[in-house]
Amino acid sequence: MSKNRKYSSPLVDGPSQAPSRSMLRAVGFTDDDFKKPQVGVASTWSMVTPCNMHINDLASTVCNSIDDEKMKAVLFNTITISDGISMGTLGMRYSLVSREVIADSIETVVGCQSFDGVVAIGGCDKNMPGCIIGLARLNRPSIFVYGGSIRPGLNHTDLITVMEGVGSYTSNKISEEDLIAIEKSALPGPGSCGGMYTANTMASAIEALGMSLPGSSSQDAVSDEKILDCEKVGPAMNNLLERDIKPKDIMTRKAFENSIRVVIALGGSTNAVLHLLAMARSVNVPLEIEDFEELGKTSPLLADLRPSGHYLMSELNAIGGIQPLMKTLLDAGLLHGNCLTVTGKTLAENLENIQPYPDSQKIIYPLDKPIKKDSHLRILKGNLAEDGAVAKITGKEGLSFTGKAKVFNSEEETNKAISNSEIKAGDVVVVRYEGPVGGPGMREMLKPTSAIMGQGLGDKVAFITDGRFSGGSHGFVVGHITPEAAKGGLIGLLKDGDEITIDSERGTIDVDIDSSEIVKRKETWFNPKPAPERGVLSKYAKTVQSASKGAVTD
């Protein structure tokens, strides 16, 4: 048995496996194919969303790069959902759940079919961590391929432009005709949302982690670069198989530290905290939310990218992608250069000949003149979040906020209040029972935060939730509050008018309620949103762990 056929050999070798070979012949295997290592190619293709509508074309290119005299590709599918389409509806409850379904499905197919290597191709937000978690659990030679970013819409627009346009419409700043015009022109074709939202954040995080080929994270979905990225997969996979390099060899503690620093430098999504915690758990790497805070003290924010900045991922790609940024961080001693990657080389070797950004570019700030000297991702603790919360604070909206609570038990209640102009300057909008258990599913609050921005209140109110935020959310926002309301957290006891103080410099989030009042409120507390009795949401609510642990179900 060949060393790189240790999984497929028992499936296809010998007279006893004639039935297995017979079925594989029906899907195109030849005599020679049974002697080759088999590489599963997991496609997240779907017409559900533009993020994934082109993935099968990329998967075909990947399969062609693998199918040669040395390897046999076997294509299979897993699911995707669309955050952007389901945002603000009950359908969004299934978003984070899909991460677990994707991971489970990849593990299930590969484990059953005994593939020797795996390639996973993802586009939308949850595809990427879901794919990585599945690859990590299997721990056989693996590569992740990012589907790529959507190109800018007319007048430099994207999905968040449409979302914030709704807020502008409800506050009578634009007409319905203006809103529809933005809607029709903002998304020109295939690819993931164009700013440094969760999809591009996780693509960048995975490249920095070493699990995708250099340059993969920034390429346009429809581009010669992305096709070339896919064509390189076959030779890279053959090298991994020959050398038996597996995810656990790549996804080390130091590699996760690299990933976190790159996410911070790019101004990435709060979802990166949730997903990197879950990805680390899948390879038994100790990683806690406090590590993001500690690394953040010496990790500058350098990228002027949306949502808090101006530029889109395709514009960063045009000046070199994230590779020159990583080279800058490496040269400054902020990255571990000795981490192994899917090229079979170390991070430092991959970056050795990378040239700096052109002098004329305005997207990536120099290290000595950062946008912010430390991280925009802040881990807050206090009586309102004893187990932690995650804030996204760039400094543009201030570093601290004190205001009166305006409490809602669902996103729907919140959206109605915003559209009725009930949110005023000085409010702390509290949205609870949207956590992993309480939702169930931990919905993203992009719709209300975008509406608040569209109404011009982004720097005048704070927004806190036991749910989470899309990478497109910006403003003074704090999510992942744990313990969540459905698990008895203090956020479930808040009342309108309670004074809440958020201090990102001190890392605190507290409500001014004395202990006797807390005891009194606990006596009358009840959960207004019991979990579903059947189905995937019921199973999820019963098995999911705290957001501060990555909301894993494993």
Query: What amino acid occupies position 25?
Result: R
- 379-549 to CATH, choices 1.20.200.10, 3.40.47.10, 3.40.50.720, 3.50.30.80: 3.50.30.80
Confidence (pLDDT) at 416 = 95
Q: How confident is the model at residue 479 (pLDDT cuts 50, 70, 90)?
A: very high
Task: Evaluate whether 99 touches 278 at the Cβ level (below 8 Å).
Answer: yes
Q: How confident is the model at residue 265 (pLDDT cuts 50, 70, 90)?
A: very high
**Strand order across the beta sheet in which 38-43 lies:** 72-77, 38-43, 117-122, 142-146
Q: CA-based angle 477:482:483, to the nearest 5?
A: 145
Q: Which of 70, 403, 46, 445 is nearest to 237 (CA)?
A: 70
Structure tokens at 272: 């990166």
Rg (CA), the chain: 23
| Residue-wise pLDDT tens digits, 208-229 | 999 999 999 999 999 999 999 9
Global pTM exceeds 0.95 = yes
Task: Evaluate whether 305 touches 340 at the Cβ level (below 8 Å).
Answer: no
The catalytic residue among 105, 204, 314, 470 is 470
CA distance 194 to 259: 20
| Residue-wise pLDDT tens digits, 319-337 | 999 999 999 999 999 999 9
Residue 358 DSSP one-character state: P
From residue 179, alpha-carbon distances to 172, 176, 227, 286, 397 in Å are 11, 5, 35, 46, 26
Does the structural domain 36-151+189-351 have CATH classification 3.40.50.2300? yes
- For 40, list phi and psi in degrees, rounded to 5: -75, 135
Task: Evaluate whether 51 touches 94 at the Cβ level (below 8 Å).
Answer: no
What is the chain's mean pLDDT, rounded? Answer: 96
Q: Is the pLDDT of residue 1 over 60?
A: no
Q: Is the pLDDT of residue 347 over 90?
A: yes
| Residue-wise pLDDT tens digits, 357-394 | 999 999 999 999 999 999 999 999 999 999 999 998 88
**Greatest pairwise CA separation for the chain in angstroms:** 77
Q: Is the pLDDT of residue 57 over 90?
A: yes
Q: Which of 363, 397, 538 is nearest to 478 (CA)?
A: 397
CA distance 276 to 259: 9
The question of whether 504 is a catalytic residue gets the answer no
CA distance 119 to 126: 16
Q: Is the pLDDT of residue 272 over 60?
A: yes
From residue 322, alpha-carbon distances to 131, 200, 471 in Å are 21, 11, 18
Query: What amino acid occupies position 315?
Result: E
Confidence (pLDDT) at 2 = 67
Distance of CA 18 to the CA centre of its chain: 43
Helix (H, G, I), strand (E, B), or coil: what is residue 544? coil
CATH 3.50.30.80 placement within the chain: 379-549
CATH 3.40.50.2300 placement within the chain: 36-151+189-351
Q: Which of 218, 209, 201, 213 is nearest to 316 (CA)?
A: 218
Q: Is the pLDDT of residue 455 over 60?
A: yes
Residue with tokens 């590569």: 143
Q: How confident is the model at residue 531 (pLDDT cuts 50, 70, 90)?
A: confident
